[in-house]
Amino acid sequence: MLHAFDAHGAVLTELRVNWAAGTRQVSLRHHTGLKVLTIHKLRALTLSRAFPWGFSESIHALSTGEDALTIEMQSGDTIRIDGQYLPT
């Protein structure tokens, strides 16, 4: 489980996909420094960028399950990445 740090308030700086390798990298600027989360065996990516609560680059909550990483943005948008997250 990814709760080694509290992601609330971290800034989402980049989402990157390596199609051939089936990986997705999520870069966050956190008060403790830059964090890069890598998801392997990428199966699906769903995201909205509609800003229902207003513009924000900050994360409200980040959660992991056995097969997905979900990021709820302070803008009200949600990013769901189906794949395998292995903490490093």
- Apex 69 CA angle, 40 and 44, nearest 5: 60
Residue 5: inside a domain: no
Residue 17: inside a domain: yes
Q: What distance in Å separates the CA atoms of residue 70 and residue 29, rounded to the nearest whole number?
A: 17
- For the cut 60, the answer to whether the pLDDT of residue 4 exceeds it is no
Tokens of 11: 């800034």
Residue 2: inside a domain: no
Residue 31: inside a domain: yes
Residue 33: inside a domain: yes
Residue 6: inside a domain: no
User: Which tens digit of pLDDT belongs to each residue from 56-69?
Assistant: 999 999 998 778 99
User: Which tens digit of pLDDT belongs to each residue from 25-78?
Assistant: 999 999 889 999 999 999 999 999 999 999 999 999 999 877 899 999 999 999
Count, in order, helices (H) and strands (E) of the chain: 0, 6
Whole domain around residue 26: which residue ranges?
A: 11-85
Residue 4: inside a domain: no
* Cα R_g (the chain), whole angstroms: 12
Domain count, the chain: 1
pLDDT of residue 1: 41
Q: What distance in Å separates the CA atoms of residue 14 and residue 52, rounded to the nearest whole number?
A: 20
Global pTM exceeds 0.85: yes
